[in-house]
Amino acid sequence: MNFPSMRVDGKIALVTGAGSGLGQAFAIALAQNGADVIITELPGKESIAEETASQIRDAGRRAMIVPLDVTRVSMIRETVDRVVKDWGRVDILVNNAGINIPRWAVDVSEDDWDKVLDVDLKGTFFMCQAVAKASMIPQNYGKIINIASIMGVTGFYYRAAYCSAKAGVVNLSRVLAVEWATHKIRVNAIGPTFIHTPLTAPMFADKNFYDEVMRRMPLGEIGKPEDVVGAVLYLACPASDLVTGHCLLVDGGWMAW
Ligand SMILES: NC(=O)c1ccc[n+]([C@@H]2O[C@H](COP(=O)([O-])OP(=O)(O)OC[C@H]3O[C@@H](n4cnc5c(N)ncnc54)[C@H](O)[C@@H]3O)[C@@H](O)[C@H]2O)c1
């Protein structure tokens, strides 16, 4: 019996915010498992994606660095149309770009709220829409993986905007899964726990916070980006074709109690 592949050979993937942290790991892992990868980074920060591109090429796959600010909807549309024209299609979209502005709820300004929601939720939605319209709907195939967080399924102090945005990403993924199932586009979210990346480095510089997170984490360790790549690869490969509208937690047991 031949079972569906756990690889992504010959697929074309697009990973947003792939110059650092989790996005870098996702892009390289997709390449090591057979995909060519379009990596996007903020305009002016493209150079931080050079290392990602170099490791993709070391894996024998094609890489292209594209400047993209996911808060700018017209830029999303122009960029996606251009990459689809240049590379023919996008099979796998990983919406990874994200920010957090940690604040007590009483201190969150309108500007803080808009910044977080614009990148984490609005950017994710308009990326999904642009890639679906330009490539996935016409080709009747796609795998969309939206990087949410455990903060999308539970609350945590100091994170009103971030938790709201990530909860939106989880439920948005369900809506798109339902709407686009007819086009064979699978839309899922991933909910990582705390992972060591440039995003969390300032948080873990506070030893009290680090100790508190460690106490709450059943597996007793903060994750590394490589701990999350298996979830992305699974949701990107044919073995997960019956999975859509799901949020796969990679949480060290955080949500188990
Ligand atoms: N690190 C964690 O503990 C953790 C846990 C759960 C979820 N996440 C999520 O994983 C994703 C990646 O986080 P990370 O920890 O690797 O952070 P990171 O800061 O290392 O990487 C985020 C990337 O997004 C890019 N980016 C920021 N704003 C952008 C914009 N407007 N347009 C395009 N790109 C933009 C940044 O340049 C950066 O490369 C985020 O969505 C984050 O919310 C992280």
Active site residue 158: no
- 152 pocket-lining for ligand 1 (C-beta < 6 Å): no
Name which of 232, 144, 147 is nearest 180 in CA terms. Answer: 144
pTM over 0.95: yes
Give the atom of ligand 1 at the shortest distance from the alpha carbon of 49. 39
Reported as a single tens digit per residue, the pLDDT across 214-224 is 999 999 999 99
- For the chain, where are the E strands, in sequence order? 12-15, 36-41, 63-67, 92-95, 142-147, 185-192, 247-250
Beta strands 92-95 and 142-147 are parallel
Domains and CATH numbers, the chain: 12-247 (3.40.50.720)
pLDDT < 70: residue spans in the chain: none
Ligand 1 atom 20: the closest Cα is on which residue?
21
Bridge partners of residue 103, in order along the sequence = 159
Question: Is 252's C-beta closer than 6 angstroms to any atom of ligand 1?
Answer: no
pLDDT at 121: 99
CA of 4 to the centre of ligand 1 (A): 31
Say if ligand 1 is within 6 A of residue 202 CB: no
**CA nearest neighbour of 224 among 256, 254, 194, 189:** 194
Q: Which residue has 């969150």 as its token pair?
A: 108
The first and second tokens of residue 113, run together, are: 């709220």
Of ligand 1's listed atoms, the one at least distance from the Cα of 48 is 39
C-beta of 231 in contact with ligand 1 (< 6 A): no
Note the pLDDT of residue 193: 98
Pocket test for ligand 1, best of 71, 99, 196 (most atoms within 8 A of CB): 99
Residue in 157, 162, 210, 234 annotated catalytic? 162
Residue 143: its pLDDT value, please? 99
CB atoms near residue 199 (< 10 Å): 16
Instruction: Please work out whether the CB of residue 71 comes within 6 Å of at least one atom of ligand 1.
Output: yes
- Ligand 1: atom nearest CA of 71 is 31
Percent of the chain with pLDDT over 90: 100
The confidence score (pLDDT) of residue 112 equals 98
